[in-house]
């Protein structure tokens, strides 16, 4: 792929990822968190499912493959997005985005432990620096809030989803995978909403506009582009570009919500970004 097109796709998907935190926090005025994200991904999944059927994209022919899509949807959509939206009740959109996007560091750890992948010393230095950044972000609070724990769990779930996509997704059409993992994740979230919270949704022009933006731009467009980039590249190197997403998350939180950008959050973010860069940078010298 042309590097300029690749770069534009990276900016598109990461900006949509980051801005969804602030827009989602606004949406919590009109809806309970899990129900909002359930509506978001159920709607996105239905629209994408209709699209892939009309486009006659190849669908899985075995229950095993459908089961794999369901598991990916559980981690990539239900786990990640459920944790994010609930975290927004107690922490800022910027803090949630920074914690969520440490997942490239977790990809290296999980890849080593579960897939027996080998990484260089420089990459492990990046992991250490990244988690030092997380420690700074956590330590800035007198107590760890529920939102900080959920933000971290969203990163864990995303890292698992990333490795599953790379492991299982090669034999599944990327558009079909995108559609049905969102649909399955949305259905799981609906069930979770009625179990874990008191669901409500206030129907207004603003709430509908927020839902449509989250479902179409921040889900269908963003997920399709992201899955495509994962499909054509190495999961670790592709995930390195996620350092742009928390930047857009902090920026959109500041613009849309007037969230203050505290020095300790920015300092922790810098360490995380450097860690992600080192974890995925391929130097010319082989001894590193």
In terms of pLDDT, which residue wins out, 113 or 282?
113
Interatomic CA distance for residues 138 and 148, integer angstroms: 7
**Residue 1's pLDDT band (boundaries 50, 70, 90)?**
low
Give per-residue pLDDT as tens, 56-113: 999 999 999 999 999 999 999 999 999 999 999 988 888 888 888 888 788 888 888 8
Whether 96 maps to a domain, the answer reads: yes
Whether 287 maps to a domain, the answer reads: no
For position 283, what pLDDT does the model report?
A: 56
**Residue 239's pLDDT band (boundaries 50, 70, 90)?**
low
The answer to whether the beta carbons of residues 60 and 172 sit under 8 Å apart is yes
Does pTM top 0.95 for this prediction? no
**Residue 234's pLDDT band (boundaries 50, 70, 90)?**
low
Whether 65 maps to a domain, the answer reads: yes
Interatomic CA distance for residues 11 and 7, integer angstroms: 6
Q: Is residue 142's pLDDT more than 80? A: no
Whether 210 maps to a domain, the answer reads: yes
**Residue 157's pLDDT band (boundaries 50, 70, 90)?**
very high
Where is average pLDDT lowest: 10-14, 26-30, 264-268? 264-268
Whether 286 maps to a domain, the answer reads: no
**In the predicted model, what is the mean pLDDT of residues 49-58?**
95
Whether 198 maps to a domain, the answer reads: yes
Whether 288 maps to a domain, the answer reads: no
For position 60, what pLDDT does the model report?
A: 95
Domain that holds residue 212: 3-280
**Residue 205's pLDDT band (boundaries 50, 70, 90)?**
very high
For position 231, what pLDDT does the model report?
A: 72
Highest mean pLDDT among 8-12, 118-122, 268-272: 8-12
Give per-residue pLDDT as tens, 30-39: 999 999 999 9
**CA 176 → CA 70, 121, 157, 260, distances in Å?**
12, 37, 21, 40
Quote helix, strand, coil % in the chain, to nearest 5: 80, 0, 20
Whether 200 maps to a domain, the answer reads: yes
For position 49, what pLDDT does the model report?
A: 96
For position 287, what pLDDT does the model report?
A: 39
Q: How many domains does the chain have?
A: 1
């Amino acid at each position: 792929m042309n590097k300029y097109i690749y770069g534009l796709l990276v900016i598109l998907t990461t900006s949509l990822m980051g801005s969804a935190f602030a827009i989602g926090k606004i949406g919590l005025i009109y809806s309970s968190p899990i129900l909002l994200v359930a509506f978001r991904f159920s709607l996105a999944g239905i629209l994408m499912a209709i699209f892939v059927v009309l486009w006659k994209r190849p669908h899985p022919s075995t229950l095993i493959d459908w089961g794999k899509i369901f598991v990916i949807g559980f981690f990539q959509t239900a786990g990640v997005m459920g944790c994010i939206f609930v975290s927004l009740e107690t922490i800022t959109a910027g803090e949630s985005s920074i914690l969520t996007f440490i997942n490239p560091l977790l990809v290296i750890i999980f890849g080593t432990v579960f897939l027996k992948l080998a990484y260089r010393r420089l990459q492990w230095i990046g992991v250490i620096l990244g988690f030092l950044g997380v420690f700074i972000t956590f330590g800035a609070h007198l107590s760890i809030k529920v939102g900080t724990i959920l933000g971290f769990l969203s990163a864990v779930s995303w890292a698992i989803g990333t490795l599953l996509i790379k492991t299982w997704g090669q034999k599944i059409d990327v558009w079909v995978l995108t559609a049905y993992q969102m649909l399955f994740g949305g259905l799981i979230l609906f069930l979770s909403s009625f179990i874990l919270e008191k669901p409500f949704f206030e129907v207004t022009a603003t709430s509908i506009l927020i839902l449509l933006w989250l479902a179409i731009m921040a889900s269908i467009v963003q997920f399709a582009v992201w899955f495509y980039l994962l499909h054509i590249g190495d999961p670790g190197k592709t995930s390195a570009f996620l350092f742009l997403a928390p930047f857009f998350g902090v920026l959109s939180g500041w613009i849309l919500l007037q969230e203050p950008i505290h020095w300790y959050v920015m300092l922790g973010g810098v360490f995380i970004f450097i860690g992600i860069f080192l974890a995925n940078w391929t130097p010319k010298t082989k001894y590193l």
